[in-house]
Amino acid sequence: MKSVDLWIPSAAPFFLFGVLYYLVSPAIALGLLAENRVISAASEYIGEGYFEWAYFIDVLIIALSFFSGYFLSKRGRKGRAESVVDFSASFKLGPILLFFLLSMLLMFFVYRAMTAGTVFFSGYENYDILVLGPFATLIFLSALFHNYFSGRIAKISFFLVFLASSFFMLSLGSRMFFVLGSMTIALGWLSRNKGALKNPLLYLGCGAFLCLVVSVGVWRSGDNVSLEALLTVFFAEPVLTAASGAVYINNVGGRPILGAPLDVLASLVNFIPSFIYPDKLLVIERLIYDENKFSPFGASSIIVNVYSNFGMLYPLYFLCVGGLVGGLNRRAHFSVFYRSIYFSVLPLLMFHFFRENFITVLKVSLFNGFILPFFTVIFLYLFFGTPRNEALTK
């Protein structure tokens, strides 16, 4: 497919949304909804001096560092080059077998969750990362492969896996990966149907989807659906995340000048399968332990992550992330594999990137988002593909 026929969105608005939602909106919400019970619970950890000039300088530096890396990398030479990771996209048998593999994994994960005592449709009463994690991985991979494979049957098959995995994920009150996967699939569809961007129904549908996701959060909290409840759920996510940043800065006594990237090292250890290194969790716990870190409500602010790992050198981290995303954007114009990766990364930039620790961020974005799909398509090419020289003679 020619690049002129495709819509490849810029990553800038996706990252900017994350900055405004997770870093700017908490300051606004604490002022407008100060009497709200959820917001007031976070205000106990967020002192009046947290959202001061130093904080907003951090916000500005974060944005400028990412955009500098992104636009410098994006302006590089695009070129066109066929890659081995793109060959599997048109295969017939390979994706069908992969679909059956993911389906069997889904049934196994459901069985394992039920035997462990998990009760579906119970809100957050059975929140367990060991149960939710496998479903999240299936959602992420099925959305990515839906965009990668070109066959109609393959697309429908992986979409069904996505729906089934999302069904069980939502039944436990977890919305994050359903939202991320839905956006990934939507971006893939819009890239091939860019005329829909001019249709008002698209934006009405996005508004309805947002209301649905927020309503799930209201149901999870046990409240009745109302305007106040919807606003509370919408702003609770960034405000509760910001609490961890305020606690860390307060415990450290300011912004540290230097940091040790132990979380990054721990995330690399996390890549090793447990059957190869059974004691890896103990090593990870020792690496990431920091008495100054405390997330009162679970999520970890990007402020905590970058200062604890890089100190004042954190702009280099955002510069590198921006450069990598810019490189993906450049390659997405001519490679279906990198386009699929890129469409999966964009939603992460909006939400996941700003609220999860480095272990989770790197596991999802690097391992699930690149390494696993890369070796999967290479495997399909080696065992289910037609040799290139043979195909050219037919």
Q: Which pLDDT does position 301 carry in this prediction?
A: 93
The rounded distance, in Å, linking the Cα atoms of 321 and 317 is: 6
Radius of gyration of the chain (CA): 22
- Per-residue pLDDT of 52-83, as tens digits, reads 999 999 999 999 999 999 999 987 666 566 68
The rounded distance, in Å, linking the Cα atoms of 7 and 2 is: 11
- Where the chain has pLDDT below 70, the residues are 1-4, 76-82, 122-129, 216-217, 219-225, 273-275, 386-394
100, two tokens = 């059956």
329, two tokens = 């954007």
The model carries a pTM of 0.89
Number of H helices, E strands in the chain: 20, 0
DSSP 256: -
Q: Which pLDDT does position 387 carry in this prediction?
A: 46
User: Which residue bears the tokens 């939602």?
Assistant: 21
Q: Which pLDDT does position 40 carry in this prediction?
A: 83
Nearest CA-CA partner of 345 in 355, 334, 353: 353
Cβ atoms within 10 Å of 188's Cβ, excluding its own = 21
Per-residue b or e along 324-350, where b marks 16 or more CB atoms closer than 10 Å to that residue's CB: bbbbbbbbbbbbbbbbbbbbbbbbbbb
Domain ranges of the chain: 3-392
Q: Which pLDDT does position 100 carry in this prediction?
A: 95
| Contact yes or no for 226/277 (Cβ under 8 A) | no
Strands (E), the chain: none
59, two tokens = 């916000």
Q: Which pLDDT does position 384 carry in this prediction?
A: 80
| Contact yes or no for 176/351 (Cβ under 8 A) | yes
